[in-house]
Amino acid sequence: MKYTRRRRPQPPKTMTRTYDLTEKEARLTEAGEISYEYFQEEEGYGNCDGDPACFCFTLQEGMEAGFTKHQVAGLISSLEAKGVIDIEHRDPVVEGPDLFWLNESFVNFIARQNIAKKEAK
């Protein structure tokens, strides 16, 4: 008779994602009405009472943050590749400009940093 040892079930490992942004990428992610200080809980879009303005920006708002149109386009491409933003393509005539949403996992990443800073005080 062959004896096989049973392994005790292990709890699932949770992976905490981190993001490495350049200074310009970080500045763009706070364009419009977005402010990292709003993200105090790891509840994603539940921060700011779910106000969408706290989580997305437009091309125009990116330009108002001090970038040219071409700089914003390049930064958006980089942020999308890093998984920081999701792009909501919209019909400009009917719905308005495209929206660049902070990814919910990125919002939670910022919230974790804010919580750690608060606990360190």
Locate the domains of the chain by residue range. 23-38+49-120
pLDDT band at 17 (very low <50, low <70, confident <90, very high): confident
Q: Give the span between the Cα atoms of 40 and 116, in whole angstroms.
A: 10
Q: What percent of the chain has pLDDT over 70?
A: 87
| Pair 102, 62: CB distance under 8 Å | no
pLDDT digits (tens, 9 = 90+) for 20-54: 999 999 999 999 999 999 999 999 999 999 899 99
Helix (H) or strand (E) holding 56: strand 56-57
pLDDT (0 to 100) of residue 2: 55
pLDDT digits (tens, 9 = 90+) for 89-106: 999 899 999 999 999 999
Grouping H, G, I as helix, E, B as strand and the rest as coil, residue 102 is strand
DSSP H helices, the chain, are 23-28, 59-64, 69-81, 104-120
Q: Give the span between the Cα atoms of 39 and 105, in whole angstroms.
A: 12
pTM of the complete model: 0.82
Class of the domain covering 23-38+49-120 = mainly alpha
